[in-house]
Amino acid sequence: AVVADAGAQGLRARVIDVDYASHGPQVDLITDELTRVLAGVRPAATDIAFYSAVTGTRIDTTGLDTDYWVTNLRQPVRFADTVEALLADGHRVFVEASPHPVLTLGLQETFEAADVDAVTVSTLRRDEGGLARLARSLGDAFGAGCAVRWARWFTAPGAAALDLPTYAFQRRRYWLEPPVGSQDATALGLAPAGHPLLGAATELADGGVRLLTGRIGRHSHPWLAQHTLFGAPVVPASVLTEWALRAADEAGCAGVDDLMFETPLVLPEAGSAQVQIVVGPADDGAGRRDLHIYARPDEDAAPGGAPWTRHASGQLTTEATGPTAGTTVSTWPPAGADPVDLDAFYDEAAASGVGYGPAFKGLRAMWRRDSDLFAEVTLPQEASEADGFGIHPALLDAALQPALLAEPAEADHVWLPFTLTGVSLWATGATSARVHLSSLDGQQDAGPGRTWRITVSDLTGAEVLTCEGLVLVAAGARQLRAAGTAATPPRSRTVPQTPARRTAANHRPPTDWTGRLAPLSAAEQLGVLIDSVRTHAAEVLGRTDPDALRGDATFKQLGLDSLTAVELRNRLVADTGLRLPTALVFRYPTPAAIAGHLRERLTGQDTADESERQAGTRSGPLTADTVLSDLTRMENDLTAIAAQLPHGDTGEITTRLEALLARWRSTNAEADGDSAAHRLKAASADQIFDFIDNELGVSRDTAPANPTPKAG
């Protein structure tokens, strides 16, 4: 019955060919039979160390008699104790001889709990039982330090072993690169950045601009080249995110408000790429700073010089975002989460165009519960050391890989990070982590892309990094290959051109929204702003009728994709003169939600209203306009909540809203009736029919031609 139910849910299940439960009380019922069947067991001594999962220690094999095996079947399996005993005695390589590895995760957890550097090697895998699989397993064991007798391997199939050169002829460049950060930045008037990928930091004398610089390349940082897109080594978004967090520290900011990835950073074939992270001055308001990440091939990679390319941009914030640091998870993995098979993940990723070398294969386990994903990730040994990074990019990339795994594959397209919002780093030095990803698409799509909230925690459950929103978009091979071509400019030296100068009055000044909104009521202000947002959205979409765009519809429902979403944001920036986040459309997914945000920023009224509301007082009279303003704000909150909460978590909210509406109707029934009666007396025939359609739900098209009048 259990197997049938699991099969109906699409889960893999099978009946084990055993008619009793091992290591439990049921064994007592067959003790006599076991003793009789195993009576002929005669243990022998051996010089091979034998560790018992019954005692959790090393034991003499002469004690493996009938009583031992009966006890073995009855008592708990002391697996962790036994592995810890092996580790304490110096064993570091564990070979699981089985048709499919099932103990690897438990072994790894025990290694981590004991804080010991050990490895596991499997022999066979499900559906991979041939000599090729066994050869790969032997290779893994050899790489882990085991002394494999290769001569016996080649003798068995009748092949002869050949002597090979001490190194393979790979035709690779072997010139040594100077260690990163070895230059004396202080002697150049700069400050050492203390970062594995960034060499120096400085603050410009004029304007409060801060600058971080560095050089990266395939040879100086070979682990970076292990991340490829359609064959090209592309610096992963996790590296740029870590740079942005490092820039926030340099500028005294708390985190990254938003970060948009614009152009892939392809490592040049030869030489290195120069990197600059530019942090603008703090604005006069909230203290936010603009952030831009640039790169260009250096002289070795592009003789004659190459232009700078902007690869990411965004804003830094002075206030940390996301959940409170220090939150812990009591149970792991969470109850009700089903395991996900990861055996083919990296092979399928490579087939779709995303290549992960050993340094980026840090995804160890994953579970799914409804729209939430849970995973365990670790920093592979092939990656560089974690020292100097806020969070190692390879570990962060592994955390972002549950989101990529959850998205459906598209032909000749891959899912890539487009924007990150609300990123805060709470702890450094993590080498293993737990990851929780929550889909923000919900019942209504949160935006034109796929959106996830991310929490990265350490092994105790304390937060390491939080991200309010990761937006993924699909990118094609043609786009990425074009970016790779653009990263290798012509070899000839370019001739400097006269800088282009803007013609006077070339840009229209922003609208005087403060003056325009001042004489209006709160509801009127919101209505004007909604109309403005819909007008801009219609222009972006090439629509001629802004009124056809519903204010409560999500932008994805209206037809915006990731690129048009950014164009809409840019139009609103130009129109209002406000600093708006790059991922504006993803944070505020409807025209009404954006209008509410713009009203708060342009009038400054919402913050005061909020403080008064929490204190239970108002500085002004309670009017219909103030109530309508509160309702608009609540409507925006409910829209955002509906897009983020799981389906089952909104029941109590719906019940309370319905109860509130019922009380309101009961209290104001008489006044509403008088108002309705007055309107009907003065209404035309068409207006009466419209009233019937809207209030009573009766359509004039479906009503009988000659309705029979009723008394009363």
Is 517 in a helix, a strand, or coil? helix
Answer yes or no: is pLDDT of 4 > 60. Answer: yes
More confident call, 163 vs 256: 256
Answer yes or no: is pLDDT of 701 > 60. Answer: no
Helices (H), 289-441: 345-352, 393-406
Q: What's the pLDDT score for residue 409?
A: 64
Answer yes or no: is pLDDT of 680 > 50. Answer: yes
Backbone angles phi, psi at 179, to 5 degrees: -55, 140
Q: How far is CA 679 from CA 671, 694, 712, in A?
A: 12, 14, 19
**Containing H/E element for 311?**
strand 309-317
More confident call, 135 vs 409: 135
Average pLDDT on 119-129 reads 87
What letter does residue 336 receive in the DSSP assignment? T
CATH class of 192-488: alpha beta
Ranges 339-348, 508-517, 615-624, 661-670: which has the least confidence:
615-624
Q: For 149-168, how does the pLDDT look when each residue is reduced to its tens digit (9 = 90+)?
A: 887 887 766 666 677 666 65
- Strand 354-356 and strand 338-339: the pairing is unpaired
Ranges 113-117, 140-144, 225-229, 325-329: which has the least confidence:
325-329
Q: Which residue has the tokens 């909150």?
A: 637
Average pLDDT on 541-560 reads 78
Q: What's the pLDDT score for residue 114?
A: 92
Look up the pTM and report it. Answer: 0.56
More confident call, 604 vs 678: 604
Ranges 173-177, 487-491, 620-624, 669-673: which has the least confidence:
487-491
More confident call, 609 vs 98: 98
Label residue 328 by pLDDT band (50, 70, 90).
Answer: low
In this structure, the chain runs to a length of 712
617: left (phi over 0), alpha (psi -120 to 50) or beta: beta
Query: Residue type at 622?
Result: L
Signed CA dihedral, 332, 337, 339, 340: sign only: negative
Residue 248 corresponds to which tokens in the numbers above?
A: 């926030």
Query: Other C-beta atoms within 10 Å of 42: how many?
Result: 8
Helix axes 104-114 and 79-88, enclosed angle (nearest 10): 50
More confident call, 607 vs 629: 629
Average pLDDT on 69-98 reads 94
Ranges 159-173, 297-311, 478-492, 597-611: which has the least confidence:
478-492
The answer to whether 398 touches 465, Cβ cutoff 8 Å, is no
For 268-333, what is the HEC assignment? CCCCCEEEEEEECCCCCCCCCEEEEEEEEECCCCCCCCCCCEEEEEEEEECCCCCCCCCCCCCCCC
What letter does residue 51 receive in the DSSP assignment? B
Residue 307 corresponds to which tokens in the numbers above?
A: 């232009």
Answer yes or no: is pLDDT of 132 > 70. Answer: yes
> Among the CATH numbers 3.40.50.2300, 1.10.1200.10, 2.10.70.10, 3.40.718.10, which is that of 513-650?
1.10.1200.10
Average pLDDT on 385-399 reads 93
Backbone angles phi, psi at 690, to 5 degrees: -60, -40
For residues 454 and 456, what is the distance between their CA atoms, to the nearest angstrom? 7
Torsion of CA 582, 585, 587, 590, to 10 degrees: 160
Q: What's the pLDDT score for residue 489?
A: 38
Work out the mean pLDDT of the chain and round it to a whole number.
80
Q: Which of 77, 75, 73, 79 is nearest to 94 (CA)?
A: 79
Answer yes or no: is pLDDT of 708 > 90. Answer: no
Is 443 in a helix, a strand, or coil? coil
CATH class of 21-148: alpha beta
Q: What's the pLDDT score for residue 326?
A: 44
For residues 437 and 427, what is the distance between their CA atoms, to the nearest angstrom? 18
Backbone angles phi, psi at 116, to 5 degrees: -125, 135
Percent of the chain at pLDDT > 70 equals 74
Domain 192-488 matches domain 513-650 at the CATH topology level: no
Expressed in percent and rounded to 5, the helix, strand and coil fractions of the chain are 40, 20, 45
436: left (phi over 0), alpha (psi -120 to 50) or beta: beta
Average pLDDT on 3-19 reads 87
Ranges 185-199, 555-569, 692-706: which has the least confidence:
692-706
More confident call, 197 vs 474: 197
* Domain segments of the chain as ranges: 21-148, 192-488, 513-650
Ranges 68-72, 124-128, 213-217, 650-654: which has the least confidence:
650-654
For residues 654 and 648, what is the distance between their CA atoms, to the nearest angstrom? 11
Query: Residue type at 232?
Result: A
The answer to whether 376 touches 329, Cβ cutoff 8 Å, is no
The answer to whether 618 touches 529, Cβ cutoff 8 Å, is no
Average pLDDT on 9-34 reads 88
Q: For 421-437, how does the pLDDT look when each residue is reduced to its tens digit (9 = 90+)?
A: 999 999 999 999 999 99
Ranges 140-149, 176-185, 191-200, 221-230: which has the least confidence:
176-185
Q: For 173-189, how does the pLDDT look when each residue is reduced to its tens digit (9 = 90+)?
A: 566 655 554 456 776 77
Answer yes or no: is pLDDT of 507 > 60. Answer: no
**Containing H/E element for 524?**
helix 522-541
Answer yes or no: is pLDDT of 19 > 60. Answer: yes
Answer yes or no: is pLDDT of 691 > 70. Answer: no
